[in-house]
Structure 1
Amino acid sequence: MKHIIWDWNGTLFHDIDAVVGATNEVFRPYGLAAFDADGFRAAYTRPIWVAYERMLGRPLNEGEWERLDAAFHDHYHRLMLTCALAEDALGCLRTWTDSGRTQSLLSMWAHDRLVAKAAELGIDEFFARIDGLGSATSPGGGKAEHMVAHIAALRMDPADILVVGDSLDDAHAAQHVGATAVLYTGGMTSRADLTASGFPIVESLSHVLDYAG
């Protein structure tokens, strides 16, 4: 492999506690019992509104998704301040850069916040490109079309690219463009779902490079 495309939330950025905490705050008015990390992972999927429908046990009403998503991000942006990079993330980024190969960051989080957080954590220098969602893009959807645009901007052959993420959506986006995927168990998706997917999985980001050649 010549290039790694990293996912952010739940992959490089270990924010599962903030995600679960924000989700619990959002659904507190609904009277739902609080989720722990495993309970959240059992319900999690993309698009996110499908996960919310699973949690509620019913379809969302008109305009409800937008209200829930806005409330989630209000809580998340407060709770994420205590989160840090995943264990081994910095070492992986350094090792891959030192090998003379390139890497980039593709996230479904807001672009401006993503760029600022990567700079704050001192890792922006590792990436040939950083792409998050623009203000005109609806959040919560799938990643495939964004993967297409990201790789087009990189001007690379997808066959030379390893995609690292924590969700099946990351793997399906890689599959969509013809890239290779490996999935990390420390994020939002349950280990059972990751295992059942048939994609390679790693318990630690330090093992990602074993799949990069």
Structure 2
Amino acid sequence: MKHIIWDWNGTLFHDIDAVVMATNEVFRPYGVAAFDADGFRAAYTRPIWVAYERILGRALEEGEWERLDQAFHDHYHRLMISCALAEDALHCLATWADRGRTQSLLSMWAHDRLVVKAAELGIAGYFSRIDGLSSGAPGGGKAEHMVAHIESLAMDPAEVLVIGDSLDDAHAAEHVGAKAVLYTGGMTSRVDLAASGLPVVDTLAEAFDHAR
């Protein structure tokens, strides 16, 4: 592999606790019992509004998705302050850079916030490109964003490894013809990740081994 495309939330950025706590705050007024991490992973899917329908046991009403999504992000942006990079993240980024290889960051989190947070954590300089969500509805799929990201990099997808924590990352990699490895530290259960047929790992160091 010549290039790694990293996912952010639940991959490089270990924010599962903030995601679960924010979700619990969102659904508390609905009388939904609080999730732990495993319970949340069992309900999680993308697009995220489908996960919310699972949680509520019904279809969302007109305008309800937008209200729930805004409430989630209000809570998440408060809670994420205590979150940090995943174990091995900095080592993997530095080692790949030291080998003269390139890497980039593609996330479905808000672009402006992503750029600022990567700079705050001192890792922005490792990436040849950082792309977050700057247009379109939040909570959707990553595939078309992956197409634009690859085109911007001018990379051959066959020489790219995508490292992410969700089936959405897997689908996006498949969509462009890149390889992928899936990490269990994020929002998707190991069972669901394994069902993809792709390599599944418990640490970023293990994921990184697939790029060597």
Asked if Structure 1 and Structure 2 have the same fold, meaning a TM-score greater than 0.5 normalized by the shorter chain, the answer is yes
Partner of 1:194: 193
Residue equivalent to 1:58: 58
Post-superposition offset of 1:76: 0.1
1:42 corresponds to 2:42? yes
- Over residues 75-111 of structure 1, what are the superposed CA-to-partner deviations in whole Å (9 max), with x where a residue is unaligned? 0000000000000000000010011100000000000
CA distance in 1, matches of 2:145, 2:17: 26
Determine the structure 1 residue equivalent to 2:159. Answer: 160
* TM-superposed deviation, 1:209: 2.2
Query: Percent of counterpart pairs with the same letter?
Result: 81
The residue identity in structure 1 corresponding to 2:197 is: G
Does structure 1 residue 24 correspond to structure 2 residue 24? yes
- Which amino acid in structure 1 is aligned with residue 184 of structure 2? T
Query: Quick one: which amino acid aligns to residue 177 of structure 1?
Result: V
Distance in 2 between residues matched to 1:12 and 1:209, nearest whole Å: 12
**Partner in structure 2 of residue 109 of structure 1:** 109
* Cα distance in structure 1, aligned partners of 2:70 and 2:209: 39
Distance 1:51 1:109 in 2: 17
Q: Quick check: 1:85 aligned with 2:85?
A: yes
Report the AA paired with residue 80 of structure 2: M
Using the TM superposition, give the Cα deviation of residue 210 of structure 1 relative to its aligned residue in structure 2, in angstroms. Answer: 1.7
Distance 2:194 2:152 in 1: 31
Shift of residue 27 of structure 1?
0.3
Q: Which amino acid aligns with 1:32?
A: V
Deviation at 1:197, TM superposition (A): 1.5
In the alignment, the residues of structure 2 paired with residue 160 and residue 70 of structure 1 have an alpha-carbon distance, to the nearest angstrom, of 37
Q: By how many angstroms is 1:51 displaced?
A: 0.3
2: distance between equivalents of 1:35 and 1:5? 30
**Displacement of 1:207 after TM fit?**
1.0
User: Any runs of at least 4 consecutive aligned residues in structure 1 with deviations exceeding 3 A, and if so which?
Assistant: none
3-state DSSP of counterpart to 1:104: strand
Cα RMSD of the aligned pairs, angstroms, is: 0.5
Structure 2: where are the runs of 5+ without partners? none
